[in-house]
Amino acid sequence: MHGADHYDTLTGINNLASCYYALNQLDKARPLMQEAYDLRRERLGTDHPHTIISTTNLAVVIEKAGDGKAALPLFEAALAASEKKNGKHHPDTVLRVRNLANCVRDLGDTDRAMILYRDYADRQGTAEGKDSLAYAHSLIYFGFNQLELKRWAEAEPVLRTCLEIREKKQPDAWGTFNTMSLLGGSLLGQKKYAEAEPLLRKGYEGLMQRVKLLPSPNAFYFRPGPRSADRPLHCAEQAGRSEEVEGGAGEVSDAQGSRPAAAREKVSRLGGPSVARRRARRCSAESRLTEDARSTFAGRVPCNRPHSDCDI
């Protein structure tokens, strides 16, 4: 029989906690993840790879339970230990920078979060190359969070670089068209309507053509925000051509009564959005994702990647 601190026992505790986490039974997952963390730290030491993984896993569970302040020092400890053990540019270390950035962002420290997102992108570029899809993915996080803060001008060069890479490497992928929409959003925020409109149109149309390839909406949690389907109409209105816009207008808000009468009539005429249109909007990466380690615990014994998530 194995003891309570045997390697296999600790792996079993971690896996059971992971199962409860996947079922969203956080009240059961948290104490088990805490137990695995405590025993691994005691038996293996704070710098052992499995202890570092347990540190991240515990932080993820605590954060999802709504206690970001308690999770923050664990994310910081996991990053520091990973840097010491694996180096600054190891894939796991780089991902843990993003974990910390996400937690800091959600706690409202946006200035520190943006520094961390830039660090994440820089490390990814050094590790994988600045023409890699991994680097483009890190730029999406950096640029998207700038859009969230309405830092339109700062987001533009970041998203342009990302789009250049994705158009070269994955010209037909849905993420490329989503990047177009995000870049169009940054231009729209700067009132560069003539530049924004073709990106918004092409981005929206590309996403609509790839609805079946988009991640399931059930994989993400969203908070309200501007949608790619709304932006082409707004852009055309500002350019005085609202009659040209087709589709994507069904859910455009007119709460402030600022839209031209022709545009309001067009929204009414189009009616509610189709199921496919709604799904495309939900899946757009402009909707902010929470980082909840969706892939971290899925069938891995032990987990060998910290807090990973779907691409955007």
Rounded to two decimals, the pTM is: 0.72
* Structural domain includes residue 72: yes
Is the same domain home to 201 and 279? yes
Task: For residue 189, give Cα distances in angstroms to 31, 150, 186, 198, 252.
Answer: 45, 7, 5, 15, 17
* Same-domain status, 112 and 166: no
- Domain membership flag for residue 278: yes
| pLDDT range class, residue 246, cuts 50, 70, 90 | very low
Q: Is residue 142 part of a domain?
A: no
The domain of 241 spans 153-290
Beta strands in 83-168 (DSSP E): none
Do 51 and 112 lie in a common domain?
Answer: yes
Residue 286, pLDDT > 70, answer no
Share of residues in the chain with pLDDT > 70 (%): 67
Could you give the CA distance from residue 246 to residue 22 in angstroms, rounded to a whole number?
Answer: 40
Q: What is the pLDDT of residues 3-23, one digit of tens each?
A: 566 667 788 888 888 888 888
Number of domains in the chain: 2
Whether residue 170 lies inside any domain: the answer is yes
Q: Which DSSP letter does residue 204 get?
A: H
Which of these ranges, 2-16, 137-151, 223-237, 273-287, has the smallest mean pLDDT? 273-287
Is the predicted pLDDT of residue 266 greater than 50, yes or no? no
Do 124 and 160 belong together in one domain?
Answer: no
